[in-house]
Amino acid sequence: MKLATLRDGTRDGTLVVVRRDHAVFAKATGIAPTMQAALDDWANVEPKLRALADRLEKGEVEGTPVEVEQLASPLPRAYEWVDGSAYINHVILVRKARNAEPPPTLRTDPLVYQGGSGAFLAPTDDIPLADVEWGCDFESEIAVVLDDTPQGTTAAEAGRHVKLLMLVNDVTLRNLIPPELAKGFGFFQSKPASAFSPFAITPDELGGAWKEGRVHLRLQTWLNGELVGDTDAGPEMHFSFFDLVQHIAKTRSYTAGTIVGSGTVSNEDRARGISCLAEQRMVEIIESGSPKTPFMKPGDLVEIEMFDEAGRSLFGRIRQRVVQK
Amino acid sequence: MKLATLRDGTRDGTLVVVRRDHAVFAKATGIAPTMQAALDDWANVEPKLRALADRLEKGEVEGTPVEVEQLASPLPRAYEWVDGSAYINHVILVRKARNAEPPPTLRTDPLVYQGGSGAFLAPTDDIPLADVEWGCDFESEIAVVLDDTPQGTTAAEAGRHVKLLMLVNDVTLRNLIPPELAKGFGFFQSKPASAFSPFAITPDELGGAWKEGRVHLRLQTWLNGELVGDTDAGPEMHFSFFDLVQHIAKTRSYTAGTIVGSGTVSNEDRARGISCLAEQRMVEIIESGSPKTPFMKPGDLVEIEMFDEAGRSLFGRIRQRVVQK
C-alpha cells in the first residue's frame, strides 16, 4: 500500500491512498483524515486503507490524477525525527572532511541525532538558503515510520513497529557543523528542514528487498540532471533500522508517527557515486589535495528516487531546487 | 489565563481553562479540543478561552475541582522540544563535573539541543528508571511555547511569538552523557522523557516578573521533601528566551506548539541551592575532593514549583517519584 498527503491549506493535509503506478489517488475520507490520525489508530485504520487501495488498484474506485507538486511530505510535521548515521563509509569520509576522528565505538554503538520535526519541506519544495557560505548539501536517505514503540524494544521486536518507509533529503549546512559540534551539544542550526518522498509505502511493497531491517535496492541521486549517486542501500548499512530502534528505545518510548532515518546512504566502492556532496569533496581532497565540487547554490536542483528491480519507482521523486531566501 | 490538559484516555487529552487559584477548571469544549488545536489557531481561539477564563474567575461558569493527578503535561506530545542551557553558572559547573571545558563562545553563542517530544511524562508521573547506574538527575527549568515562528525571527520580534510559559523537569541520565557526547552527535539516550508543570500560563499572568524574555522570580526544588533549590530565574539567564528564539530560527521555521526551554536555572550564589544534583556534586568535589550526594534512586521524590511575589503558585507543582522500571 502507498499513501500520501495532499496539500489542502491545513497544517496536516489530507490522507490519500495512491495506486501502485503513482498515476491516481483516492482520498481516505471517512477512514482517517490525516497521516498522523492513521498512524495514531493504525491497527484499526490499516485494513480499511488496504481495502481502499485494493479497490483503487482494480479500478473500482475512481482515482484523481496525482500531481506531485500538490503533495506535502507524508507527515508534514511529525512528533519526532530521529536520524541515524548507519553507513560507516559516510561517517569515516565526512569526519575526515572536518579533520575529526570516527568515534572508537563506530561499529558497536549507533550514531543518531534528534532532528527538528515541526515543519518539513514538501518533496518538491524549494530549499530556502539565506547564505551560500553556509555550505548547503543534500543527504539522500531512507526512513521508517514507527507506531507506538515502548521503552526497551529490542532489535528482534523492532520489525513489528515499522509501518511505513519513505525517502528523505536531510538538507545539511556543512559549514555550520564544525563550530556547532565544537560546542558539544550536537547539530542544530546545521540541520534545516528536511523533505520526504511523495509516497510513504508499507514494507510489503518492497517484497524481498526489505530484509532484516535494511532495504536492498539502489538509491539514486541527481544533481542538476546528472546522476551523481547510484548507491546500494543494503549491505553497507552497518546498523539496521531494527538496531537503530533498539538504540533509541533504551531510555524512552516513542509515539506513533516517529520517523527514524538511516543516515546518508554510502558505499565504499566509489564507482557507486555519492548521496551527499561532502563525500565527493572528501574524495577530491584525498585524490588531489583540495575539494573541487562546490556545495549547492541558488538554482541547483537535487533529485532523489529509488526503483525496484523491475524499474518501477517505489516512493516517487524528491525534486528540490535551492533558492535564495 | 491558565490552561491545562485533562487526561481522558486519548493521546492529546482535553483542553481545560483553570481558575487562577488552581481550585477548579472548565472544559474548553466547543472552543478547542486540545492544547495543540488551540495553539494551531491561537489568534481565533485565545479570545474565546480568555472569555471562558473570565467567566470561570467570576463564578459564572461552574468549575470542576482540579485533581492534579488527572492532568497530563499541557502538551502531552509536542512537535518540537528545544532546550537551551542559558544559565552560564550551570554550564561551567556541569562541564567541570565531567572534566570538559566550557566552549570559548560560552557568552556569545547559545547552547541548545533538540530533545525528544513525542511522549512527555505527566507532571505527577513516576520517572521510570531501568538502571540506577545511569545516574538519574532532575533539571528544574522554565519553558515557553511558541506560535508559528518563521525562519529569521530576531530577538526583538521573538516576544510576540511567546504564547505560554510552563515549568519543566528535564530528566537527565548523567552517567550516559560522557560516552554519548564523545561520539559528537549530542545528547540522546541521556535525555529520557521530560515532564511539564500542570498549568501553562499566558505571559501576562507573570505581570512585571516577565521582562525582556526572562522570568524574574524564584524557582524552587525539593528533593524528598527538603528544599534544595530556591534559585533566581531572572538576572543570571545569560541568553533570554528571545535570544534563544533568534538562535534557533536562524536556519529554519517552527510550527505552533514548539517548546523552548531555558536550561537548568542556576545561580553563582551557592546559598540559593541547586536545580540539579550534578551541580551539588560538583560543589562537593570542589570543596572536598569527591561527590557526596548520590543521583536519584527508586523511591526518591522531586518537586518543582514557582510562586509569585504574593506567594501564589503560578504553574502548579511538578511532583515525580523515581521508580524501578
- Of all residues in chain B, what percent carry a pLDDT higher than 90? 91
Closest residue, chain B, to A131 (C-alpha): B251
Q: Please state the three-class secondary structure of A240-300 as a single string.
A: CHHHHHHHHCCCCCECCCCEEECCCCCCCCHHHECCCHHHHHHHHHHHHCCCCCCCECCCC
Task: Tell me the three cell numbers of residue B109.
Answer: 553563542
CA atoms of B221 and B223, how far apart (whole Å): 7
Are A128 and A186 members of one domain? yes
Closest CA–CA distance from residue A309 to any residue of chain B (Å): 35
Q: Which residues of B touch A11 (CB under 8 A)?
A: 40, 255
Q: Residue A90 carries which DSSP code?
A: H
Measured on CA atoms in the order B156, A323, B114, B117, is the torsion positive or negative? Answer: positive
Are A216 and A99 members of one domain? yes
Q: What is the mean pLDDT of residues A143-163?
A: 98
Closest CA to A137 of A322, A287, A292: A322
- Of all residues in chain A, what percent carry a pLDDT higher than 90? 91
Are B152 and B90 members of one domain? yes
Q: Hey, which residues 74-113 in chain B have their CB within 8 Å of chain A?
A: 77-80, 82, 85, 100, 103, 105, 109, 111-113
Q: What is the ipTM of this complex?
A: 0.97
Taking only the tens place, the pLDDT of each residue in B190-240 is: 999 999 999 999 999 999 999 999 999 999 999 999 999 999 999 999 999
Q: Do A112 and B185 touch (CB under 8 A)?
A: yes
pTM beyond 0.95: the answer is yes
Closest CA–CA distance from residue B286 to any residue of chain A (Å): 23
Residue B311: per-residue pLDDT: 96
Closest CA–CA distance from residue A80 to any residue of chain B (Å): 6
Task: Tell me the three cell numbers of residue A238.
Answer: 552497518
Neighbours of A309 (CB within 10 A): 11
Are A80 and A66 members of one domain? no
Q: Hey, which residues 9-38 in chain A have their CB within 8 Å of chain B?
A: 11
CA atoms of B212 and B125, how far apart (whole Å): 33
CA atoms of A9 and A29, how far apart (whole Å): 16
Residue B221: per-residue pLDDT: 98
Closest CA–CA distance from residue B235 to any residue of chain A (Å): 23
- Of all residues in chain B, what percent carry a pLDDT higher than 70? 100
CA atoms of A154 and A6, how far apart (whole Å): 35
Q: Mutation test of the interface with chain A: which of B251, B258, B264, choosing the one with the most A Cβ atoms within 10 A?
A: B251
| pLDDT band at residue A202 under the 50/70/90 scheme | very high
- Give CA separation, B279 vs A107, A206, A279, in Å: 34, 51, 41
**Residue type for A171, please?**
V
Residue B101: per-residue pLDDT: 81
Residue B287: per-residue pLDDT: 86
Are B90 and B164 members of one domain? yes
Q: Do B248 and A192 touch (CB under 8 A)?
A: no
Closest CA–CA distance from residue B63 to any residue of chain A (Å): 31
Q: Hey, which residues 148-167 in chain B have their CB within 8 Å of chain A?
A: 151-152
The answer to whether A1 touches A12, Cβ cutoff 8 Å, is no
Task: Tell me the three cell numbers of residue B264.
Answer: 537548568
Interface contact B240, partner A, CB < 8 A: no
| pLDDT band at residue A103 under the 50/70/90 scheme | confident
CA atoms of B45 and B31, how far apart (whole Å): 7
Q: What is the largest CA-CA distance in chain B?
A: 61
Residue A101: per-residue pLDDT: 81
Q: What is the mean pLDDT of residues A127-155?
A: 98
Q: Mutation test of the interface with chain B: which of A127, A252, A258, A325, choosing the one with the most B Cβ atoms within 10 A?
A: A252
Are A251 and A267 members of one domain? yes
Are B43 and B54 members of one domain? yes
Taking only the tens place, the pLDDT of each residue in B227-252 is: 999 999 999 999 999 999 999 999 99
Angle at which helices B88-97 and B277-288 pack, to 10 degrees? 60
Q: Do A252 and B186 touch (CB under 8 A)?
A: no
**B79 → closest Cβ in A79, A111, A173:** A79
Q: Which residues pair with A5 in a beta bridge?
A: A15, A72
CA atoms of A228 and A137, how far apart (whole Å): 13
Q: Which residues of B touch A115 (CB under 8 A)?
A: 114
Task: Tell me the three cell numbers of residue B271.
Answer: 546559598
Q: Is the pLDDT of residue B258 over 90?
A: yes
Q: Which residues pair with B320 in a beta bridge?
A: B302
**A116 → closest Cβ in B80, B185, B188:** B80
Are A150 and A170 members of one domain? yes
Out of A70, A102, A122, a domain closes at A70
Closest CA–CA distance from residue B24 to any residue of chain A (Å): 30
Residue B97: per-residue pLDDT: 73
| pLDDT band at residue B95 under the 50/70/90 scheme | confident
Closest CA–CA distance from residue B100 to any residue of chain A (Å): 10
| pLDDT band at residue A93 under the 50/70/90 scheme | confident
- Count of domains for chain A: 2
**Residue type for B140, please?**
S
Task: Tell me the three cell numbers of residue A215.
Answer: 532495504
Are A94 and A39 members of one domain? no
Are A304 and A222 members of one domain? yes
Are B33 and B151 members of one domain? no
- The range of the structural domain enclosing residue B20 comes to 2-70
| pLDDT band at residue B184 under the 50/70/90 scheme | confident
Task: Tell me the three cell numbers of residue B210.
Answer: 516577565
Q: Do A248 and B103 touch (CB under 8 A)?
A: no
Are B55 and B126 members of one domain? no
CA angle at residue B18 from B147 to A118, to 5 degrees?
Answer: 20
Residue B235: per-residue pLDDT: 96
Out of B70, B101, B120, a domain closes at B70
Q: Is the pLDDT of residue B94 over 90?
A: no
Residue A104: per-residue pLDDT: 86
Neighbours of A150 (CB within 10 A): 12
Which residues, 6 or more positions from B287, have their beta carbon under 8 angstroms from its beta carbon? none
Q: Mutation test of the interface with chain B: which of A85, A91, A101, A183, choosing the one with the most B Cβ atoms within 10 A?
A: A183
Mean pLDDT (chain B) is: 96
Residue B102: per-residue pLDDT: 83
Q: Hey, which residues 111-130 in chain A have their CB within 8 Å of chain B?
A: 111-119, 128, 130
Q: Is the pLDDT of residue B9 over 80?
A: yes
Secondary element (H or E) of residue A38: helix A35-40
Taking only the tens place, the pLDDT of each residue in A304-322 is: 999 999 999 999 999 999 9
Residue A168: per-residue pLDDT: 98
Q: Residue B179 carries which DSSP code?
A: H
Q: Mutation test of the interface with chain A: which of B90, B99, B188, B247, choosing the one with the most A Cβ atoms within 10 A?
A: B188
Q: Which of A188-197, B95-104, B131-140, B175-184 has the lowest mean pLDDT?
A: B95-104
Taking only the tens place, the pLDDT of each residue in A46-67 is: 999 999 999 999 999 999 999 9
**B103 → closest Cβ in A114, A117, A182:** A182
DSSP string of A174-238? GGGHHHHHHTTS--STT----EE-S-EE-GGGGGGGEETTEE-SEEEEEETTEEEEEEE-STTBS
Q: Is the pLDDT of residue A97 over 80?
A: no
Q: Is the pLDDT of residue A98 over 80?
A: no
Residue A147: per-residue pLDDT: 98
Query: How many alpha carbons fall within 13 Å on the CB side of residue B17?
Result: 25
Phi-psi region of B316 (alpha: psi -120 to 50; beta: other; left: phi over 0): left
Q: Which residues of B touch A151 (CB under 8 A)?
A: 128, 130, 325
Q: Which residues pair with B113 in a beta bridge?
A: B83
**Residue type for A301, please?**
L
Q: Do A192 and B252 touch (CB under 8 A)?
A: yes
Residue B100: per-residue pLDDT: 80
Q: Do A116 and B113 touch (CB under 8 A)?
A: no
Q: Residue B61 carries which DSSP code?
A: S
CA atoms of B251 and B227, how far apart (whole Å): 41
Tell the residue number behind the cell numbers 575529526, with chain if given: A100
Q: What is the mean pLDDT of residues B24-32?
A: 97
Taking only the tens place, the pLDDT of each residue in B276-308 is: 999 999 999 888 889 999 999 999 999 999 999
Q: Do B114 and A114 touch (CB under 8 A)?
A: yes
Q: Which of A40-49, A123-132, B86-95, B212-221 has the lowest mean pLDDT?
A: B86-95
Closest CA to B142 of B124, B161, B167: B167
Mean pLDDT (chain A) is: 96
Length of chain B equals 325
Residue B98: per-residue pLDDT: 72
